[in-house]
Amino acid sequence: MKREPWDSSTEKAKSLKINFFGNPDEVIKRAKPKRIATGRRYATIFLKEIVKKGLLSSKSGFKAKLSSKAVGKIVSNQAVNTSFNAEAHYLAAANIDYLFENSIEPWKYELNPNKNNDGLKERRYFYAPFEYKENIVFVKITVKEYLEKQLENKLYSIEVIDIRA
């Protein structure tokens, strides 16, 4: 599989279609949020509960862990500002386990040479459909995979992208 440029992961999302994720009717059902978080406080509460679950699994079976450290990063102002809307970001954060469960990894990317890649095998980008205000948008989930096999893959960040299916 040809690797895409490191800085194209959000741009590539524009080519996603709902049928990439399976039967459209089933995908729409799975895209509905299971939890409601109206702001940072509630999103953080749910994220801390998700941390306790341990390893999460993508649609293809790829495993990743949400760490306590990542919780703060996911609800930080910097992270929220990457998403098209703060409300959508907090709602997606509160449902990250379900989103990751329904996510796919349609492309591989080069490592960003401007970031610290020490010990990193690759940064993987998973995409999941997500219902927000009666529309299906996409959430990009970034996972760090490490060279050392004994290190668990870490769910690192999310971005809600205003691309409607």
Which residue in 142, 132, 158 sits closest to 36, CA to CA?
132
- Give residue 75's pLDDT: 97
* DSSP, res 90: H
> Residue 165: its pLDDT value, please?
66
For residue 1, CA distances in Å to 4, 12, 28, 106, 109 come to 9, 15, 29, 10, 10
Pairing of strands 55-57, 108-109: unpaired
pTM for the whole structure: 0.95
Per-residue pLDDT of the chain (165 residues; tens, 9 = 90+): 678 988 899 999 999 999 999 999 999 999 999 999 989 999 999 999 999 999 999 999 999 999 999 999 999 999 999 999 999 999 999 999 999 999 999 999 999 999 999 999 999 999 999 999 999 999 999 999 999 988 999 999 999 998 876
Q: What does the pLDDT read at residue 145? A: 96
Domain ranges in the chain are 3-161
pLDDT of residue 2: 79
Give the per-residue pLDDT at 164: 74
Give the phi and the psi of residue 35 in degrees, each rounded to 5.
-125, 150
Cα–Cα dist 131/32, whole Å: 5
Cβ atoms within 10 A of the Cβ of 137, count?
23
Return the pLDDT at 152: 94
**How far is CA 118 from each of CA 64, 109, 115, 123, 155, rounded to the nearest angstrom?**
19, 17, 9, 12, 17
pLDDT of residue 150: 87
How far is residue 122's CA from residue 130's CA, in Å, rounded to a whole number?
25
